[in-house]
Structure 1
Amino acid sequence: MKTLSNFRFASLIILFTLFTGVTANAQKSNITLSQLPATAQDFLKKHFPKQTPNYILKDEETFSLDYKVQLADGTEIEFDRKGNWEEIDGNERPIPNTVVPATIVTYIQKNYKGASIVKIDKGTWDYEVDLDNGLELKFNKSGEFLRIDK
């Protein structure tokens, strides 16, 4: 019985050490526009040509690397390690329709006339889209409407 208790205690210590070691490796650093992956640079030039970055963060963790960009108008964009966008948040301001899959834009224009997309999150299996009217819509990877979340 005592051996089992010692084993559990030792296991907890090992897990704690591993967990704190992994989280201790997380590093955030400010970088310049030229240090972003080329894909992200091209995306910003194409879809936000008149915006300059307030800051660009490189967020390195043990098993991931991503970039966070805040533009002068407050729009925040997250990119993966290759420079592909993962999330675009206009912070209650409309984001360009050019960054949203065409099928999603068409669905919203048809079903929510006058509504603007203020945030889009590209997940592994779906898209979450927030509208300026407070609705949160879910679409599959093909851009087909799934449901309203709010």
Structure 2
Amino acid sequence: MIRRISVLIALTLGVVSMSAKLPFDKYSINRKDLPDAAKEMLDEHFPKAKVSMIKVDRHLLKKTDYDVKLTNGTKIEFSNKGRWTSVNCNKKSVPESLVPQNIRNNVAKKYSGEKIVRISRSSLYYIVGLANGKELKYDRLGILQGEITKQEAEEFGIQALTEADSENADTTENPEP
């Protein structure tokens, strides 16, 4: 009896562990795989850019999210409902329409001439990455909370530029906002 229970438990654990390792991600280039809100955001803020890849992240215990890469090198992450959570334009400027006015004003005043090349948002904060490598944390009202380290920014969810990104990035303004 104990042996049968042990075998049953072993089989159950094997099936569960195998199903947990099954690939849940789907790769696509078809915009129809995105939620409507994500498609609208792309149309509004990146009207000329073409999608080079969409990764649909399906998680076992977490909601689906979407990673989109555009042909101009921009990477955008969306929530399961299509709300953007992170935009990384490499060395190109993030479209102004995605950055709250208070944050734009603060960057223009305190970091004159610097471009905003990355932005991430949560329910509490914005993290903004500048072309000079600085990472800035703002509250939801757009009030600067201070500079943060790249590690803190990555913990928040924004990926800082790697040296490879910097070498491959076009340093001109983003022609496809």
TM-score by length of 1: 0.82
Cα deviation code 1:32-70 (max 9, x no counterpart) = 102211100000000001100001111100222100100
Cα deviation code 1:70-110 (max 9, x no counterpart) = 00110000000000000001122221111111111111111
Structure 1 runs of 4+ aligned residues shifted over 6 Å read 16-19
Query: CA distance change for structure 1 residues 17 and 40 in 2, over 3 Å: closer, same or farther?
Result: same
Aligned to 1:79: 78
Q: Equivalences for 1:102-141 in 2 at 5 Å?
A: 102-141=101-140
Structure 1 residue 18, shift from structure 2 partner: 10
Which deviates more from structure 2 when the two are superposed, residues 116-125 or residues 50-59?
116-125
Cα deviation code 1:99-130 (max 9, x no counterpart) = 11111111111111111111111123211111
Q: Which has the higher strand share?
A: 1
Answering whether residue 25 of structure 2 is matched by residue 28 of structure 1, we say yes
Q: Tell me if structure 2 keeps the 8 A contact 1:23–1:61.
A: no
Q: Tell me if structure 2 keeps the 8 A contact 1:67–1:81.
A: yes
Structure 1 residue 22, shift from structure 2 partner: 7.3
Q: Which amino acid aligns with 1:35?
A: D
Q: Which amino acid aligns with 2:81?
A: K
Q: Tell me if structure 2 keeps the 8 A contact 1:26–1:61.
A: no
Take 2:111 and 2:94, find their aligned partners in 1: how far apart are those partners? 16
5+ unaligned residues in a row in structure 2: which ranges? 1-9, 150-177
Secondary structure of the equivalent of 2:133? coil
Answering whether residue 43 of structure 2 is matched by residue 54 of structure 1, we say no
Q: Equivalences for 1:88-103 in 2 at 5 Å?
A: 88-103=87-102
Take 1:48 and 1:119, find their aligned partners in 2: how far apart are those partners? 15
5+ unaligned residues in a row in structure 1: which ranges? 1-12
Q: Percent identity?
A: 31
Secondary structure of the equivalent of 1:27? coil
Secondary structure of the equivalent of 1:40? helix
Per chain length, whose mean CA-contact separation is higher, i.e. which structure has more relative contact order (CA < 8 Å, sep 6+)? 2
Q: How many residues align?
A: 136
